[in-house]
Amino acid sequence: MNAGAIEEGAKVATGVVEGLKSQPIALALIVMNVIFVGATFAGAYYLNIRTTARYEAQDVLIHKLLDQCIASKKTFFLAPTLKGPVHENSDQ
């Protein structure tokens, strides 16, 4: 490896640390941004889990109701059919 690159990286890191020491508000903003991003990610993750569970429960209920309806009437749901042509400008 190149020892010069490591030394330059160390100088940059030292400069950043010194800059943050002289400006504590910048360090506080960085910490608050990291906390905000983490909290937003966690909130979105748990909201996604809750929403997915809700839709799965609704799907189960819908399938249960459809099974009961089909079993009780012994009919199937059919799409409606047209009996003739449909004209938009017709006064019939």
Walk along the chain (92 residues) and give the pLDDT tens digit of each residue: 567 888 888 898 898 888 888 888 988 898 999 999 999 999 999 999 999 999 999 999 998 888 887 766 655 566 666 676 666 665 55
pLDDT of residue 70: 73
- Provide the H-helix boundaries in the chain: 3-22, 24-73
CA 62 to chain centre: 24
pTM for the model stands at: 0.51
